[in-house]
Amino acid sequence: MSQHFSHDVLVIGSGAAGLTLALNLPKSLRIAVISKGELANGSTYWAQGGVAAVLDDTDTVESHVADTLAAGGGLCRDEAVRFTVEHSREAIEWLIAQGVPFTRDEQPDRESGSFEFHLTREGGHSHRRIIHAADATGAAIFNTLLLQARQHPNIELLEQRVAVDLITERKLGRAGDRCLGAYVLDRNTGEVDTFQARFVVLATGGAAKVYLYTSNPDGACGDGIAMAWRAGCRVGNLEFNQFHPTCLYHPLAKSFLITEAIRGEGGLLKLPNGERFMHRFDPREELAPRDIVARAIDHEMKRLGIDCVYLDISHKPAEFIRSHFPTVHERCLDFGIDITREPIPVVPAAHYTCGGVVVDKAGQTDVPGLYAIGETSFTGLHGANRMASNSLLECIVYGRSAAQDIVQKFASTDLPSDLPSWDASQVTDSDEDVIIAHNWDELRRFMWDYVGIVRTSKRLMRAKHRVRLLLSEIDEFYSNYRVSRDLIELRNLATVAELMIRSAMQRKESRGLHYTLDYPRQLPVAFDTILVPSTAGD
Alpha-carbon dihedral angle through residues 246, 251, 254, 258, given to the nearest 10 degrees: -20
Residues 36/219, Cβ–Cβ less than 8 Å: yes
Q: Annotate 410-458 with three-state secondary structure.
A: HCCCCCCCCCCCCCCCCCECCCCCHHHHHHHHHHHHHHHHHCCCCECHH
Residues in the chain: 538
More confident residue, 416 or 60: 60
**Separation between Cα atoms, residue 381 and residue 271, nearest integer Å:** 34
Mean pLDDT in the chain?
A: 92
**433 vs 132: which has the higher pLDDT:** 132
Spans of all domains in the chain = 4-208+219-234+357-410, 244-350, 434-516
What is the pLDDT at residue 388? 84
DSSP H or E segment with residue 253: none
Q: Do the Cβ atoms of 332 and 480 come closer than 8 Å?
A: no
Tell me the C-alpha distance between 123 and 102, whole Å. Answer: 20
What is the dotted CATH code of the domain comprising 244-350?
Answer: 3.90.700.10
356-358 vs 377-378, strand pairing mode: parallel
Residue by residue, DSSP assigns 365-379 as: -SSTTEEE-GGGEE-
pTM of the model: 0.89
> What is the percentage of the chain residues whose pLDDT exceeds 90?
77
Give the pLDDT mean for 267-283: 97
Strand partners, 119: 131
Instruction: Provide the pLDDT for residue 536.
Output: 44
pLDDT at 114: 53
Query: What count of Cα atoms within 13 Å lies in the side-chain half-sphere of residue 237?
Result: 36
Whether 204 shows a pLDDT value over 80: the answer reads yes
Neighbours of 189 (CB within 10 A): 12
In this predicted structure, the answer to whether residue 535 has a pLDDT above a threshold of 70 is: no
- Per-residue confidence at 112, pLDDT binned at 50, 70, 90? very low
Kindly list the distances between the CA atom of residue 366 and the CA atoms of 163, 357, 458, 513, in Å, as whole numbers in the listed order: 20, 9, 33, 26
475 to 162, 252, 422: CA distances (angstroms): 18, 34, 17
Q: What is the mean pLDDT of residues 272-299?
A: 92
Lowest mean pLDDT among 99-108, 271-280, 495-504: 99-108
Q: 402, 19 in Cβ contact below 8 A?
A: no
- Structure confidence by residue, pLDDT tens digits, 393-411: 999 999 999 999 999 999 9
- At 115 the pLDDT is 59
Lowest mean pLDDT across 156-160, 403-407, 434-438: 434-438
What pLDDT does 433 receive? 73
Nearest of 360, 375, 376 to residue 409 by alpha carbon: 360
What single string gives the DSSP state of each residue in 168-236? ETTTTT-SS--EEEEEEEETTTTEEEEEEEEEEEE-----GGGSSSBSS-TT-S-HHHHHHHHHT--EE
Q: Which CATH architecture has domain 434-516?
A: Up-down Bundle (1.20)
Tell me how far apart the alpha carbons of residues 73 and 290 are, in angstroms, rounded to a whole number.
12
Task: Give the pLDDT of residue 481.
Answer: 83
pLDDT (tens digit, 9 = 90+) per residue, 361-396?
999 999 999 999 999 999 999 999 998 899 999 999
Q: pLDDT value at position 111?
A: 43
Per-residue pLDDT tens for 37-59? 888 888 887 777 799 999 998 99
| Residue 415: DSSP 8-state | P
pLDDT of residue 456: 93
**Confidence band for 219, pLDDT divided at 50, 70 and 90:** confident
User: Rounded to whole angstroms, how far apart are CA atoms 122 and 362?
Assistant: 28
Question: What is the longest distance spanned by two Cα atoms in the chain?
Answer: 73
Helix, strand or coil, per DSSP, at residue 397: helix
Beta bridge partners of 158: 34
* Strands 309-312 and 268-270, sheet pairing: antiparallel
* Confidence at residue 537, expressed as pLDDT on a 0 to 100 scale: 43
At a CB cut-off of 8 Å and minimum separation 6, what does 224 contact? Answer: 12, 13, 202, 203, 204, 205, 356, 357, 372, 376
- Classify domain 4-208+219-234+357-410 by CATH architecture: 3-Layer(bba) Sandwich (3.50)
Band of the pLDDT at 427, cuts 50, 70, 90?
confident
Backbone angles phi, psi at 478, to 5 degrees: -65, -35
Residues 6+ apart with CB under 8 A from 275: none
Q: Point out the residues that are catalytic.
A: 290
Residue 431 confidence (pLDDT): 65
% of the chain with per-residue pLDDT over 70: 97
**pLDDT tens, 479-518?**
888 899 999 999 999 999 999 999 999 999 999 999 999 9
Phi, psi of 212, rounded to the nearest 5 degrees: -65, -40
